[in-house]
Amino acid sequence: MNLASKIKEIFIKNNGIYGAPRIKIVLNNSGVVASQTKIARIMKTFKLYSVIRVKKMNRKLKEVKKITHGPNHVNRNWSLYSKNELWVTDVTYILFNKKLHI
């Protein structure tokens, strides 16, 4: 049996999961010496591509910050008796100690 047919046999036997490094290990264990580059080249000519599994990331949940509000002096009373009596603004964009505080 030639090398290409052995590579195809190992690839099909393992459901297309094995790539060139694992096929090299199987071939070396059976007594056939071949480089990983040669195996990869043969696999590429016969369009044998292994399954690439996506790594599972263990992500930690972000800590939920408790939003603190100041006292509500307006109480949704928007009627004004005189000018400059009530000023309202948004200061979430102001940088403090080179950090954005929201």
Give residue 2's pLDDT. Answer: 92
Q: What is the value of pTM for the model shown?
A: 0.52
pLDDT at 85: 72
pLDDT of residue 25: 95
C-alpha dist (Å) from residue 91 to 70, 87, 101: 13, 12, 9
3-state SS assignment for residue 44: helix
pLDDT at res. 42: 95
pLDDT tens digits in sequence order for the chain, 102 residues long: 799 999 999 999 999 999 999 999 999 999 999 999 999 999 999 999 998 888 887 777 777 777 777 777 777 766 767 777 777 777 666 666 666 555
**Dihedral (CA of 5, 6, 11, 15) sign:** positive
Domain ranges within the chain, ordered by starting residue: 3-45
Cα(51)–Cα(18) distance, rounded to whole angstroms? 8
